[in-house]
Amino acid sequence: MTTLRNLPSIEQLLQTETAAHLIARFGRPLTLDSLRQTLDDIRARFKRDPGVGLPSIDLILTQAESALAAWTAQTLHPVINATGVILHTNLGRAPLSAAAIHAMDVVSRGYSNLEFDLETGKRGSRLIHAESILQKLTGAESALVVNNCASAVLLTLSALANKKRVVIARSQLVEIGGGFRVPDVMKQSGAKLVEVGATNKVRLSDYQSALEESAALVMRAHRSNFKIVGFTEEPEFKSIVDASHKADVPVVDDLGSGALYDTAKYGFSHEPTVQESLQAGADVILFSGDKLLGGPQAGIIIGKKELLDKIKKHPLARAVRADKTCLAGLSATLTHYLKDEAEREIPIVKMMSLTLNQVRGRVEAWQNELRQGKIVEGQSTVGGGSLPDESIPTFLLELQVKSAEKFLRALRKNNPPIIARTENDRILLDPRTVLPEQEGALLVGIKNAIKA
């Protein structure tokens, strides 16, 4: 009669050649954990139903190996984005330029002068590494890089407006990704929000009335992820700045997307640029590094030196500071703009600047390689909380399949996974967001999915 006494011990399992290989691959402590858990699972099943019997030693070791593989598997994978959404938040937003990747790789491989002054041989500051490029590129007096734009907002308000009034239009109290709301972030800083205007109509007189009482800041939060249309009114930003400065109140401009170029050039509507905000007289400007800028995740703060000095000295600045890889990648990305080579080097700018003929040429090449599919007209979007409802023409490869859901699942199981979109049971693949070096893997993945 089979009983749990027939189950091999941990020591018996460790004596096998398979266990020795597992220890070499995964380490002894983790291998022991997997063997113990596997035996515990077997005991539990056997107690529920003795009729199932006990597995062989080989099967026990196979189950333990499966557990080890699952425990050590990476959950973050590179994917091929064939959706046509350029800044796909769920897919990591902006892919980086070769120079940015190289810069991040170089500083990661060993030590660096992150906080070391090579001239004096003494302790230095990490704040200088991207600051000089930002100053040169934008003309700002000072700059600071933190880990994301929400941190930039929190830090700025904590340093400049804790327990003080901050005037902001009601129409700008937006919610960003993941359920985070600008007013919640602002309140967390200790700032006292003074909402002016109505949801759809804000007048300059609303700001002027609010500024009759003392205020620490006036803030604009750019609506980069939605639009208000119809019966609307909003004063020009320059007018808001002038009214604020007349009341001797600084202006903070949260631009969000952080465009350094005119998006209208590529067929989208115009997105307010960092340079325009500075020209309008904003005292502090906040924007993201990984959206329209096309760099790594970062929050960038630029503006008047007097205000930036206060922000840099705030205790929260250390908690949200950028690490060496971010600073290296961001500096390399900003250098592309400095050298006027963004269209050639920064992937998202290249994607937006592709002509329709270039896009069609790539789709035709895919169609010829696959020997199937139909070329159809479509739209690419920016995404990533930038330029809402904006799109530009593109060409798509349309595949007719029996089950779009099963085909998409097969594409996702590819190595690397392929993310496409579907419409009316048709699979649609947009070349605009597929990196040129990924085309070979894309076509192999599609062929495998077709066979499956």
Least confident range from 67-76, 140-149, 378-387: namely: 378-387
- For residue 305 the two structure tokens come to 């030196």
> What pLDDT score does 432 carry?
96
Q: At residue 226, does pLDDT exceed 70?
A: no
Residues 335 and 82: beta-carbon distance below 8 Å = no
Q: Encode pLDDT of 304-350 as tens digits.
A: 999 999 999 999 999 999 999 999 999 999 999 999 999 999 999 99
Q: Which CATH class is domain 98-345?
A: alpha beta
Measured between alpha carbons, how far is 238 from 242 in angstroms, rounded to an integer?
Answer: 6
28-48 and 17-26 are packed helices; what angle lies between their axes, rounded to 10 degrees? 120
Q: Looking at the predicted structure, is the pLDDT value of residue 179 above 70?
A: no
Position with higher pLDDT, 287 vs 226: 287
Q: How many CB atoms lie within 10 A of CB 164?
A: 14
Average pLDDT over residues 28-43: 95
Q: Where are the domains of the chain?
A: 4-72, 80-88+348-451, 98-345
What confidence score (pLDDT) does residue 188 get?
Answer: 84
Examine the pLDDT at 389 and tell me if it is beyond 80: no
* Bridge partners, residue 282, by sequence: none
pLDDT number for residue 425: 85
Residue 175 has pLDDT above 70, yes or no: no
- 234-272 per-position pLDDT tens digit: 889 999 999 999 999 999 999 988 899 999 999 888 888
Q: How many CB atoms lie within 10 A of CB 119?
A: 6
CA gap 276, 281 in Å, rounded: 9
State percent of the chain over pLDDT 70. Answer: 95
Average of pLDDT values for 390-411?
Answer: 93
Report the 10 Å Cβ neighbour count for 365: 14
**Mean pLDDT (the chain, rounded):** 91
328, 96 Cβ separation under 8 angstroms? no
Q: List C-alpha distances in Å: 231 to 200, 206, 227, 228.
A: 7, 17, 12, 9
Q: Is the pLDDT of residue 228 over 60?
A: no
Q: What is the largest CA-CA distance in the chain?
A: 93
Q: How confident is the model at residue 190 (pLDDT cuts 50, 70, 90)?
A: confident
Per-residue pLDDT for 46 more than 80?
A: yes
Measured distance CA(137)–CA(111) in Å, rounded: 28
What pTM was computed for the model?
0.89
Which residues of 190-316 form beta strands (DSSP E)?
Answer: 192-196, 217-221, 251-256, 284-288, 299-303
- The whole-number pLDDT of residue 224 equals 53
- pLDDT band at residue 191 under the 50/70/90 scheme: confident
**What is the per-residue pLDDT for 293?**
96
Residues 291, 87 contacting (CB under 8 angstroms): yes
- Give me the DSSP letters along 116-131: EETTTTEE--TTHHHH
**Backbone torsions φ then ψ of 252, nearest 5 degrees:** -105, 130
Asked if pLDDT for residue 158 goes beyond 80, the answer is yes
Q: What is the pLDDT of residues 350-365, one digit of tens each?
A: 999 999 999 999 999 9
User: What's the CATH number of domain 80-88+348-451, 3.90.1150.180, 3.30.70.1430, 3.40.30.10, 3.40.50.740?
Assistant: 3.90.1150.180
In 3-state terms, what secondary structure has residue 293? coil
Peptide bond into 55 cis (omega under 30): no
pLDDT at residue 6 in the model = 87
The residue among 442, 422, 424 whose CA lies nearest residue 432 is: 442
Four-point Cα dihedral 288, 292, 296, 299, nearest 10: -10
Residue 136, pLDDT > 90, answer yes
Count CB neighbours of 92 within 10 A. Answer: 16
pLDDT at 178: 56
List of residues 6+ apart from 419 with CB closer than 8 A: 79, 80, 81, 82, 83, 88, 91, 411, 412
Q: Please report the beta strands in 79-237, taking only residues with DSSP state E, as ranges in sequence order.
A: 80-81, 116-117, 122-123, 142-146, 165-169, 192-196, 217-221
Q: What is the pLDDT of residue 61?
A: 96
Q: What per-residue confidence (pLDDT) applies to 418? A: 97
For 307, half-sphere exposure in the C-beta direction (CA atoms, 13 angstrom radius) is 24
Strands 374-383 and 386-400, by their bridges, are: antiparallel
Which amino acid is located at 43 in the chain? R
The band of 196, judged by pLDDT with boundaries at 50, 70 and 90, is: confident
- Tell me which residue has tokens 């099963």: 406
